[in-house]
Structure 1
Amino acid sequence: MIQLVVSIILYFVIFFGIAFILNMLLRRTWLMAFLYPFVVLIIVDNMSTMEYLKAPGSAFSEAFSRLMQITPVDIAILVAGFAGTIVSGIIIKLLRKSGYQMF
């Protein structure tokens, strides 16, 4: 139970930080929120990224079948990461609206 709480907080903070930095550098507020499903596939698929280039049909079908097999605990952790990207976008919007222009 403690590992679940720590994992949820960790994923939220990590993806908040990654999204915040990407938002500052690229000035694309919701970029990480759109890229997050691909990040989830990379986390869940347990395959080399080159497999997507060598045999895209079988690689994507295997990745989606593994995605359907994740447990509710994994879903909670991954949703926390997605929430981190969304909160990061909201914070960046609020900071820009308040006059802070990052980079």
Structure 2
Amino acid sequence: MQFTIVHLMISIVLFFVLFFGIAFILNMLLRMTWFMAFIYPIVVIFIVNKVKLIDYFREPAKSFQTLLSDLTTLAAADIVILLSGLLGTIVAGFTMKVLRKRGYRMF
């Protein structure tokens, strides 16, 4: 299947909105503004990862080498899509700050 510019644009918007929403909800529940922005790299590792989690404890050198190889071989489109998700978490953090500053106590 061919990956077109339309797929790229839809994926960028989807990841932005998805991670904005997840970060917004976590910020409301946990009241930790930048929590998801710090957790997002771990989410990216789980998305890109091809190694089982238990293998990081059984064979750490091989597992981390495989992870580094997977991260360095990402296509430019994949990097842009993943960065749009990071941008969504950052925008959610700023949105929370603004809402709290304007007096919305539930945020």
TM range (shorter): over 0.9
**Correspondent of 2:68 among 64, 67, 79:** 64
Q: Deviations over 1:23-73 (max 9, x none)?
A: 111111001111111111110112222222333332222111100100100
In the alignment, residue 71 of structure 1 is paired with which amino acid?
A
**Correspondent of 2:25 among 21, 24, 45:** 21
CA contact (8 A) 2:49 2:70 kept: yes
Query: What fraction of aligned residue pairs are identical, expressed as a percent?
Result: 51
Residue 75 of structure 1 aligns with which residue? 79
Residue 10 of structure 1 aligns with which residue? 14
CA distance in 2, matches of 1:80, 1:15: 9
Are 1:94 and 2:68 counterparts? no
Residue 57 of structure 2 aligns with which residue? 53
Contiguous gaps of at least 5 residues in structure 2: none
TM-score scaled by structure 2? Answer: 0.89
Are 1:43 and 2:43 counterparts? no
Moved over 6 A (4+): none
CA distance in 2, matches of 1:28, 1:71: 33
In the alignment, residue 95 of structure 1 is paired with which amino acid?
L
Larger Rg: 2
